[in-house]
Each structure stands twice: as C-alpha cells, then as structure tokens.
Chain A
Amino acid sequence: MRAEFFLLVAALLFTIGCVGVLVRRNAIVILMCIELMLNAVNLTFAAFAHESQSMTGHVFVFFVMTVAAAEAAVGLAIIIALFRRRRTTDIDDASLLRW
C-alpha cells in the first residue's frame, strides 16, 4: 500500500474537521470536529511510521489518543456547565469574554 493514500485520507479528514470547527456553532459538533482533526493527524503519524519502519510515530499516536481523551473529557465538562447555565450549546451565545 502506498503512503500517499493514507495521507490523502488524512488530509481530507483534517480539512473536514477544520471547516467544521470554523463554521459550526454547536459546541458538541465542534468538539467532534476537533477529534476528527486529531485522528487525521494520528493517521499521518501511523502512515509515516509504517513507511519509515520507525516506532516513534506509533508511540506518538498513543500520546495523541491520551491527550484527546483528556481533552474530550474536559471539553464535555465545559459544555455541560455551559448548558446548565445558559440552556444552550450554541457557542455564539457564550460571547461574554469581550469588551
């Protein structure tokens, strides 16, 4: 299998995630898009690791997954707190942090 395919898929996933973060207003969807971006990166790591027969990339993937899990937990907690307070998960409503 050629690495290019994996990289193309990963780029596609990353773009979808990135656009999702930028255009969606639902906080949960944004969180999911972030996961998508992280996993795209994971895929890239794995592809290159396989290509170069190095373990470093594989190890990195595990690190990223750990961080992603932690991030998802914290992010969901924030969203729940936000929802309890404002009865919405629309992040455009959470715009208090400005002048």
Chain B
Amino acid sequence: MLQLLWLIPLLPLAGFAANGLLGARLLPRRIVALVGCGSVLAAFALSLGAVLELGGIAPPSDGMEGAARFTQTLFEWLPMGQTPGGSDLTVSWGYALDPLSAVMILVVTGIGFLIHVYSIGYMEHEPRAGFARFFAYLNLFMAMMLTLVLGSSLPVVFVGWEGVGLCSYLLIGFWYDRMFDEKAKMSCADAGRKAFLTNRVGDVGFVLGMLILFGATGTLDIQGILEGAGSIDPWWCGAAALLLFLGACGKSAQIPLYIWLPDAMAGPTPVSALIHAATMVTAGVYVTCRMAPLYMHAPGAMLIVAVVGGLTALFAAIVGIAQDDIKKVLAYSTVSQLGYMMLAAGAGAFTASVFHLMTHAFFKALLFLGAGSVIHAMAGEQDIRRMGGLRRHLPITHATFAVAVLAIAGIPPFAGFFSKDEILAGVLRAGGGSGSPAALALWGLGILTAAITAFYMTRLYLLVFAGAPRMPEETRHHLHESPAVMTLPLIVLALGSALAGFLGVPEFIGGLPNYLEHYLAPVFAASGHAAEHAQGGAALSEGTALGIALFASLAGIASAWAVYRRGPLAAGKGAAGPGVLTRLVKGRFYVDEAIDAVVLAPYRGLCRVAAAFDEKIVDRLVNSVGAAADLASQLGRLAQTGYVRNYALVFFFGTIVVLVFVVLR
C-alpha cells in the first residue's frame, strides 16, 4: 500500500475531473455522489493501508532518534538547475509519509468522507449542475489538502496550500448569486474574495520564508531543511519561522488575519465543516508542527506563536459569546480553538497541538454538521434567537450535538477534555518547566478561554435545543429530522468525538497508554520533545492543573445554564439597553471596521487616485489623439463637394501644374 501513496491525492483529483467535466451534463446525481464519495473513501482505505504498513517500517537506525518515514519521488517537477552557490534548486514532486502526516491524512480522508456523505443529503435541493459542481470542488479540495499534507518539499506543500485556498474561495462563493450579509451588502462571492485575499497576505510570508530557508540550507526538501535547521544563523532562523507563521496565520485564521473565517460561513454548511473547521484551517497548525525543529531553534518566534495563539483563542472566544448566527458562533469557536493549537505549538507541545487538531476535527465537524442539520430542518434559518426547543424534533441531531458540546467544553471523558488538558499541561511545562511568568500567563489565558468556550457552547446548545420554540408556526410544522445519509455521519462523528480522546490519555492518569504521543514522539523527538517531560519545578502539579481546567469548564457551563436556562432572550434585556461592553462584543470589537479604516480605506483612496490619473490623464491623451485625427478629417472633407465639375476643375489645374513642372524642368 505504501507504494500506492501517489494514488491518495490522485483519486480525489480523478473524482474532480470526472464530476467537473461530465457531472453537470451527463452523469445522474447518484453517479456524481458515488464518484465524489467513492474516490474519498478509496483514498481513506489507501491511507489506512499505507499508515498500517508504515507502522511496520523500522525507524532509521542511524543512531539519531527519528521517525519511520517513507518518501516517494514521482518526477522532477521544476528542474531549475544549480545556484551560483552550488545548491540544487531542482524540485521534485514527491510525497512523504511519517507519523505526523499519517495522522493528518487519516483525519482528512476519514472526516472528509463523512462530510462528503453528509453533503449528499444536505445538497439534495440543489439543481443537478450545482450538485455536480459542489462535489467536484469538494474532491478538488481533498486532492489539494492531501498534496499539502503529503508534500515532501515546501513547493509541493505550497501547491496544496494554494490549492486549498482556491477551493475555499470557490466553495465559500458556491452560492455566488446570494447575499450573505444584507447589512454589510456582502454577497457570498464577496466573502469568498475576502477569504482569498486575506490568505494572500499570509502566503507572501510563506513564500518569503521558503526563500529564506532555501538560501540558508540550500534545499527546499522539508527533511533536508529540518536536518539543517540547527546550523542556520539564529536571526535568519527566527525570520523564516516568523514568515512561515505569517502564512500559518492566514490559513489558520490567527490574529490579525482571522477576519476571513467568520465570513467564510457564506459557504454551504458541509463546506464550513470540512474546510473551515476540520481540515484546511488546520493546515497552518500542521505546517507549524511540520517545521517544529525550525521553531525549536527560534525561541523568540516560538514565544510569538504562543502569544498570538493564546490571544486569538481568548479574543475569538469572547466574540463568540455574543453572536446570534449559529454558524458564526461556531466560526469564532473555530478561530478560538485554532488559537489553542497555535498556543500549544508555540509552547513546544507539538503533540498536544496535533492531538487537539485531531479531536477538534471530530467535534467541530460534528458541530457544523449538526448545525447544518438544524439549518436544513429550519429551512435555512440560522438565527439562534428564532430557534429553541428543537430537542424534540431533531433527536439524533440533538444527541450528537450535545456530545460535541461536551467535547469542546472539555468535559471528561469526551475528546476535547484530554486534548485541551494536554495543551494546558504543555503550556505550563513550556520554558523548561520552571513555571516562568510568561508560561503561567499563557496558561491563564488558556484556562480563561476554556471557561468562556464552555459558556458560549452551552449558550448555543440551550438557545437551539432547549426551552420553548421561538420559530414561526409555519416553520415549526415543517421541522423534521434529517435523512439517514445526514444523521449517520453525525453518529460516527459523535462516536469519534466521544472516544478519540482515549488515544492520548495523559500518563499521570494512567489506565491507557498515551498512544498518540508514543506514535508522534519520534517526529518531534529532535525538537526537544524531552523538554516536555522535564519533571519537577512546575508551578502546579499536573493533577492540580487538570482540576483547575475542569473547574473552569464546569463553571462556564454552569453560568451559561444560569443565564440562559429559563428565558434565553430575557438575559440581555434586564439592563436598560446593552452596555458598552456588550455592544463592543456584539460588534466583534469592530476589528473589521478598523481594518477597513486603516488598511482598506487608504487603499481605496489610492485606487481612486489611480483611476483619476487613468481617466484624466492617460485617457485624455489617447482621446486627444483621436480628436486631432477627427479635426483633420473635418477639414479634409470640405474638399469633397460632390460636384463633378469641381473635381474636373481640380483635375484640370493639376494636369497643368504637372505639365508646367515637366516642361520647365
């Protein structure tokens, strides 16, 4: 199966080609769905086989600690020759499988498959051409995501990186003719463009970082870069790490480039689940973990990653409290959880980061699909103020959603509890386990975020499923549980959200070995994984820290219960109008508006100047040339009287002139 590694990204690509070229005209829905889901299922099966076989490969026995690694070079992609310095710029198209990418491809193909299946039900009202287009885009996304994950050199990763960005754009703007935000006059196509352009900002960083790394190590192969990471000048190393992190900020929606993700909810809900929750947005975290040895050599960059991640986590969680659109709540929650992952990566707890990435993929995909099921039942209504009491009408959705809420809130034994705890423990251990103030502060951020996360998720749950129904009578009559094709993925994901945590039970609890950590340890071994296990000296024992985190979660849930249990809407009405703070949070701290004023407004001014220059100067110049020709012909046409005798007279005098000229010469 390992030899078939190249097929894993290629299968969804073939599905894309089939559905994209033939789907809209020739293939019936059933075949389109079969091709779309089948190609991903096949990729999942291949991934599973390849990962199992990888487990049988002994790690390289060169004395170094290293992970089992399988590299497959397919062809020479960019034969650019050698630089004057003697380093080889030839880029091969190759895939590499190691435990880290193994975890990723299983998450991507596995959860991707479930979401594909779900989409069959969710998109059933779409006309056939749209249905085929949707599955074609989804398959293209899978192909690009797998290329990103498996790419063995940075340019190949970058192709996948841009590819998923493209698919994100296409799918956010899938309903390009619909309005997304009436108030801001933003259409779905605008939302897609916003995502694409914001990502471009980060991509500049990615490319520059790639160039610095090539300049410093003379290769673009990831393995080669990581092996040479130790010998890079610390300054350059930090610069490269920060530039790559800028790229990761764009893709993984960190401050200040997170603004696109909430608007990415313009896409169909399965897209939000697949791309904007489970897979694509984790690409930034993945690349950061992939380049872990590089980051380990740049402690300053690590600190920045951790701080940005922590702040993003807290900020987005606060904004999430006040959102009224079911998908917007989840979007800010995703931003917040991605911040969590970045926080872990910045603290050097890469395993925890990947662990949370995995569990988050389960429960956030589940939350989004559950939200999709709710929206489906509510005939497109997304405002949670008009929901309520859906527990009775959507029993399966309700049960699975509840599991996901418990998982993200960090209640044991659900998945989020373990991964969140591992991140918090990792942060606490950061900086050599001495309990430095910075580590403690970041840990405090994490705890606070955990409490707020529990609060807003409980609020969401209560407003949607509990209490009295608040929707119009007509909608209530049409409430129905989604078809099996949608509920089955929900159930599978709920099982995953409930059980995935047991892959990484912290060792001090015992009972189960920490499978994931043992599996990933070789990958991060070279990146000072040992430091994560520095015992003693920590400010808090692991047990105490865990207790505090759990208490924070419970406190969050309890306070949300207290506020929203009875009259969900009365909560905000008690005071005379919303306070300044409420308005600030409701308005998402006016970050979009601030960016608009600081970045976009000057840009628009520049555009107006350029347009004026074009119209007033360039266009006038061109137009005056035309006007001159026009004037000349106005004069010239006066000669054309139309009278034959005039022409004859001119002819006569002309002849005389010629004659005189000939005779006198």
Contacts and interface: CB of A to CB of B under 8 A. Distances in A.
A89 B644 CA distance: 12
A23 B644 CA distance: 11
* Number of chain B interface residues as a range: 10 to 19
Interface stretch (B3-11, B153-161, B512-520, B635-643): B635-643
A46 interface: no
Interface string A62-99: 00000000000000000000000000000110111111
A98 B649 contact: no
B642 A95 contact: yes
Nearest to B638: A99
B648 interface: yes
B652 interface: yes
A50 to B, nearest CB: 24
Contacts of B640: 97-99
A10 interface: no
Interface in B614-665: 637-638, 640-645, 648-649, 652
A98 B644 contact: no
Contact of B652 (A22, A92, A97): A22
Contacts of B643: 91-92, 95
A18 interface: yes
B650 to A, nearest CB: 11
A53 B451 CA distance: 128
Nearest to B645: A22
Nearest to B646: A95
Contacts, number: 32
Interface residues of A, number: 14
A83 B640 CA distance: 23
Contacts of A97: 640, 642
Contact of A91 (B637, B638, B645, B649): B645
A96 B642 contact: yes
Contacts of A18: 652
B652 A98 contact: no
Contacts of A91: 643-645
A42 to B, nearest CB: 18
A96 to B, nearest CB: 6
Interface in A14-32: 18, 21-23, 25, 30
Nearest to A27: B644
Interface string B283-295: 0000000000000
A23 B648 CA distance: 10
A25 B644 CA distance: 9
11 contacts: A18-B652, A21-B652, A22-B649, A22-B652, A91-B643, A91-B645, A95-B641, A96-B642, A98-B640, A98-B642, A99-B640
Interface of B: 637-638, 640-645, 648-649, 652
Given A25-B645, A97-B642, 6 more contacts: A18-B652, A22-B652, A23-B645, A92-B643, A95-B641, A95-B642
Question: Considering the complex of A and B, which 10 residue pairs feature the smallest CB-CB distances, nearest first?
Answer: A98-B642, A95-B642, A99-B637, A98-B640, A91-B644, A95-B643, A97-B642, A99-B640, A21-B648, A22-B649
Interface of A: 18, 21-23, 25, 30, 91-92, 94-99
